[in-house]
């Protein structure tokens, strides 16, 4: 299987190259030139498989021999071994034909563990085989950083540097990053805001001369193809659990960068009967405006109670646009150029109509988010995190029929977002799971650095493993 860029300016690449690069050199995102397709009979035959057995079925065709099957199986087993639930991704019924898919039983209590545990092991395996080392650099305002650090903590061939804005991430989120031991793990608290962190990462990717010749940067943000791929698995898993593929299902997905929900879109293209995908956004609603009113204009960032979805632009949306425009890379390059210049574009009517056949969208503000958390707790004593609350509510508002199961993705554990939970009327913070109960006593390690590219790069060059 070959991978092509959404902007059409790159020769087809192998899986290995795509995983080790992240962004395509023409500025586009990598997608497979052709997807594997599974028949209903084949999908139905997977009903008895465990999560990791199912993951192997779905991931193997994308990897296409780049990792031998036995080694791939080991990587998958290692990735999901630390999850604290036997089912890995359990379903909980939350209403009539309505389900919550709990994706927060991984080491950092958010769905990003599904992809980043696997990506860490995969990168380490590929680098070991090549006799190379690589450097992961990323900026985070929350979940990505901790999940990436947990994913790389046992990787001998990777040094990881995660930048967060000093004093501007929640204490739980900071501690989840800074208390992970390991000589290859480096947390940098930058004296700046999240944009400053991101600009520093972008500048470093653009000019990597501060690193020795034998090291390159690898991107592990949600544009990395392997992350999307690993997320496809739980759509199949959940559908199989509620009667798929004989019965179509709908999903509601709390969405920021469109990585998670794009995996659901791919699952459908691979043969899973998915009747509807609901894009659930907070006040940062560029995707909701685009689907509902053809308004894809960049607006100011709003700091919400669901911070992991606080984005101005949704990077993975380009992958959907590529399909909506008949996989015409030139058309996407033009659209993205226009967006860079004007902060705005409108979709062709035919593209919009095609999107609306499958996607619905809703925006839920902070006030409603808090009310949903309170209502659900009142009704069933089930405590939602704010992102999941948005997904649940948007699913209810957009649902087309009661006969189709609606599966709402629970992207985080409520203990990660105590502010929203307390606003919903809970005295005190929701307790952390037992294995993390001592998080606030663990020793922290991080380096405060000024918002200065040279200083950050000098720090990184001075802390590489040999
Ligand atoms: C990252 C994240 C999201 C958004 O996921 P995307 O793939 O960016 O759409 C939603 N909820 C939580 C808790 C997250 O960490």
Domain parsing of the chain, residue ranges: 89-109+225-423
Ligand 1 near 268 CB (within 6 A): no
Task: Report whether 157 contacts 133 (CB < 8 A).
Answer: yes
Q: How far apart are CA 137 and CA 221, in angstroms?
A: 9
Task: Tell how far the Cα of 256 is from the centroid of ligand 1, in angstroms.
Answer: 6
In tens, the pLDDT along 250-282 reads 999 999 999 999 999 999 999 999 999 999 999
In tens, the pLDDT along 428-460 reads 788 899 989 999 999 999 999 999 999 999 999
Class of domain 89-109+225-423: alpha beta
* pLDDT value of residue 346: 94
Task: Tell how far the Cα of 420 is from the centroid of ligand 1, in angstroms.
Answer: 16
Q: Is it the case that residue 426 has pLDDT exceeding 90?
A: no
The active-site residue out of 2, 57, 112, 423 is 112
Atom number in ligand 1 closest to CA 416 = 13
* pLDDT value of residue 168: 87
Q: How far apart are CA 422 and CA 424, in angstroms?
A: 5
In tens, the pLDDT along 329-361 reads 999 999 999 999 999 999 999 999 999 999 999
Q: How far apart are CA 43 and CA 46, in angstroms?
A: 5
* pLDDT value of residue 112: 97
Task: Report whether 331 contacts 338 (CB < 8 A).
Answer: no
Ligand 1 near 320 CB (within 6 A): no
- Partnered with residue 362 across adjacent β-strands are 280
Atom number in ligand 1 closest to CA 259 = 7
Q: State whether residue 137 is helix, strand or coil.
A: strand
Q: Is 269 a catalytic residue?
A: no
User: The tokens 């913070």 sit on which residue?
Assistant: 429
Ligand 1 near 285 CB (within 6 A): no
pLDDT band per the 50, 70, 90 thresholds, residue 116:
very high
Task: Tell how far the Cα of 309 is from the centroid of ligand 1, in angstroms.
Answer: 6
Atom number in ligand 1 closest to CA 143 = 15
Task: Tell how far the Cα of 259 is from the centroid of ligand 1, in angstroms.
Answer: 8
Ligand 1 near 79 CB (within 6 A): no
Q: What is the mean pLDDT of residues 7-17?
A: 95
- Transcribe 360-427 into DSSP letters: EEEE--HHHHHHHHHHHHHHH-PPPPHHHHHHHHHHHHH---TTS-EEEEE-B-GGG-HHHHHHTT-S
Atom number in ligand 1 closest to CA 385 = 13
pLDDT band per the 50, 70, 90 thresholds, residue 223:
confident
Task: Report whether 211 contacts 135 (CB < 8 A).
Answer: yes
Ligand 1 near 359 CB (within 6 A): no
Ligand 1 near 106 CB (within 6 A): no
Q: Is it the case that residue 70 has pLDDT exceeding 90?
A: yes
Q: What is the mean pLDDT of residues 1-12?
A: 96
In tens, the pLDDT along 158-186 reads 999 999 999 988 888 899 999 999 999 99
SS3 percent helix, strand, coil of the chain, rounded to 5, is 45, 15, 40
Ligand 1 near 90 CB (within 6 A): no
Q: Is it the case that residue 215 has pLDDT exceeding 90?
A: yes
* pLDDT value of residue 232: 98
For the chain, helix (H) and strand (E) counts, in that order, are 18, 15
In tens, the pLDDT along 230-257 reads 999 999 999 999 999 999 999 999 999 9
Percent of the chain with pLDDT over 90: 91
DSSP letter at 335 equals H
37-51, 104-118, 215-229: which has the minimum mean pLDDT?
215-229
Ligand 1 near 258 CB (within 6 A): yes
Closest CA to 235 of 256, 265, 257: 265
Select from 170, 231, 387 the residue to mutate for testing ligand 1; criterion: most ligand atoms less than 8 Å from CB.
387
In tens, the pLDDT along 77-92 reads 999 999 999 999 999 9
* pLDDT value of residue 142: 75
Mean pLDDT of the chain: 95
Q: 359 CB contacts (<8 Å, ≥6 apart)?
A: 276, 277, 278, 279, 291
Task: Tell how far the Cα of 463 is from the centroid of ligand 1, in angstroms.
Answer: 30
* pLDDT value of residue 325: 97
Q: Is it the case that residue 22 has pLDDT exceeding 90?
A: no
* pLDDT value of residue 120: 96
* pLDDT value of residue 151: 95
Task: Tell how far the Cα of 166 is from the centroid of ligand 1, in angstroms.
Answer: 22
Ligand 1 near 254 CB (within 6 A): yes
Task: Tell how far the Cα of 51 is from the centroid of ligand 1, in angstroms.
Answer: 21
Between the alpha carbon of residue 315 and those of residues 27, 77, 280, 308, 312, the distances in Å are 11, 30, 16, 14, 9
* pLDDT value of residue 91: 98
| pTM of the model as a whole | 0.96
Between the alpha carbon of residue 192 and those of residues 149, 221, 267, 346, 386, the distances in Å are 21, 20, 39, 34, 26
Ligand 1 near 143 CB (within 6 A): yes
Burial class (CB in 10 A: 0-12, 13-18, 19+), 171: exposed
């Amino acid at each position: 299987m070959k991978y092509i860029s959404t902007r059409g300016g790159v020769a087809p690449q192998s899986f290995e190259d795509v995983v080790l690069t992240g962004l395509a050199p023409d500025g586009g995102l990598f997608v497979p030139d052709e997807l594997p397709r599974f028949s209903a009979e084949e999908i139905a035959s997977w009903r008895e498989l465990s999560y990791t057995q199912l993951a192997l079925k779905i991931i193997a065709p994308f990897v296409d021999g780049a990792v031998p099957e036995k080694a791939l199986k080991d990587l998958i087993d290692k990735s999901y071994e630390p999850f604290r639930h036997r089912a890995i991704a359990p379903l909980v019924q939350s209403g009539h034909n309505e389900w919550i898919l709990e994706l927060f039983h991984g080491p950092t209590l958010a769905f990003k563990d599904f992809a980043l545990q696997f990506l860490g092991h995969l990168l380490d395996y590929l680098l070991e085989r090549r006799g190379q080392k690589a450097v992961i650099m990323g900026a985070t305002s929350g979940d990505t950083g901790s999940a990436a650090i947990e994913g790389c903590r046992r990787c001998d061939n990777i040094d990881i540097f995660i930048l967060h804005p000093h004093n501007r991430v929640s204490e739980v989120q900071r501690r989840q990053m800074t208390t992970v031991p390991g000589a290859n793990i480096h947390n940098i608290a930058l004296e700046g805001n999240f944009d400053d962190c991101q600009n520093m990462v972008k500048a470093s990717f653009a000019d990597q001369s501060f690193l020795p010749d034998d090291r390159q940067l690898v991107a592990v943000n949600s544009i990395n193809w392997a992350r999307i791929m690993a997320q496809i698995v739980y759509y199949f898993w959940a559908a199989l659990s509620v009667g798929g593929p004989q019965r179509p299902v709908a999903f509601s997905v709390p969405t920021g960068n469109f990585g998670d929900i794009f995996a659901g879109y791919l699952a459908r293209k691979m043969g899973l009967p998915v009747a509807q995908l609901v894009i659930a956004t907070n006040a940062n609603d560029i995707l909701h405006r685009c689907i509902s009113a053809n308004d894809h204009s960049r607006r100011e960032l709003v700091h919400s109670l669901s911070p992991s979805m606080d984005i101005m632009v949704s990077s993975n949306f380009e992958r959907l646009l590529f399909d909506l425009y008949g996989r015409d890379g030139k058309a996407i390059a033009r659209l993205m150029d226009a967006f860079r210049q004007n902060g705005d574009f409108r979709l062709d009517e035919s593209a919009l109509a095609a999107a609306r056949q499958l996607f619905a969208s809703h925006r839920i503000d902070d006030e409603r988010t808090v009310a949903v958390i309170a209502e659900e707790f009142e009704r069933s004593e089930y405590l939602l995190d704010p992102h999941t609350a948005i997904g649940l509510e948007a699913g209810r508002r957009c649902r087309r029929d009661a006969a189709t199961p609606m599966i709402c993705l629970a992207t985080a554990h409520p203990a990660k977002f105590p502010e929203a939970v307390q606003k919903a009327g809970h005295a005190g913070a929701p307790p952390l799971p037992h294995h993390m109960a001592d998080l606030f006593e663990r020793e922290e390690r991080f380096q405060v650095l000024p918002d200065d590219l040279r200083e950050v790069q000098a720090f990184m060059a001075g802390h590489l493993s040999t």
